[in-house]
Structures are given as structure tokens and as C-alpha cells.
Amino acid sequence: MKSPHTPHGPGFRFLDEFSIEGDTGSGRWHLDPGLPFFNDHFPGNPLVPAALLMESAAQACGAFWMNSEACSEKTPLFVASVDAMRVLAAARPGETLDIRVKLVRELGPLAQFEFETTSADRVVARGRITLSRQLAPAN
């Protein structure tokens, strides 16, 4: 599927395309050098903030869960936790990130995923993210 099928508006969408192959999903995000965060993160040495690497992985996990055959409910998804994440290399303007996700387990309204983000032949980030179908109540 060409559309990433996320609920985010274009200003906060960090997937350009997404596909499902069996029990895994694959997303791509081209790092347009004109993205505004490259101006300030960091001047003269631009790179993608770790929080956006995590968000792109979470969006890929959500696209997988919402569009997989295993998904019976089409309700909104939220990040419940980032269970582990390691940034192993910088992601820079002009690169294309490949984000591979795999559903590890579903626990009622929760689903845990493993992800790996690569660019060319190197691993940029990897970890585990748990999504929830329910928004935590406000305190």
C-alpha cells in the first residue's frame, strides 16, 4: 500500500509508504533535506532526532496493527511504552530509512512490537514498542 495509513496529518507523518508481508511490516521514510528540524538539530551537523526515529517506528507498528489480518478493531492507537530503543547510527538528510516491524504479542488492547530501522547497509535504531487501543485516563 502506498499510503502509510496513519491517523497523523502530513506535518507529523514519518512514513512515506508501508507494506505488509506476512507477519512483518515495512515502512520507508525519505529524509528530505528541507525538513525543518534539520536546520537546528544540529547546525552544521544535521541529524534526525531520536524521538522522531522512535515516532517513525511507532507509526510503522501502528500501520501494521491497523492493517493486518489479525486486527479485528479499527480504533485509534497510542504509544503505551517504549520498552527498549537503541540508536546505533546517525540518520542524515537525503537518506531513506527502512523501518521493519514485527508483532511480538497481543495482550487485549495492547500489542508489543520489535522494530529495526536501517539506512543503506547500516542499522540506525532498534527496539521494542507497545501500542494501546485505549488512551490512558488523564489525572
User: Which sequence positions are flagged as catalytic?
Assistant: 41
Residue 54 host element (H or E): helix 50-67
Q: Cα(102)–Cα(79) distance, rounded to whole angstroms?
A: 16
What is the separation of C-alpha 126 from the centre of its chain, rounded to a whole number of angstroms?
11
Q: How far apart are CA 117 and CA 101, in angstroms?
A: 9
CA distance 24 to 42: 33
Residue that has been written with the C-alpha cell 531520536 in this structure: 50
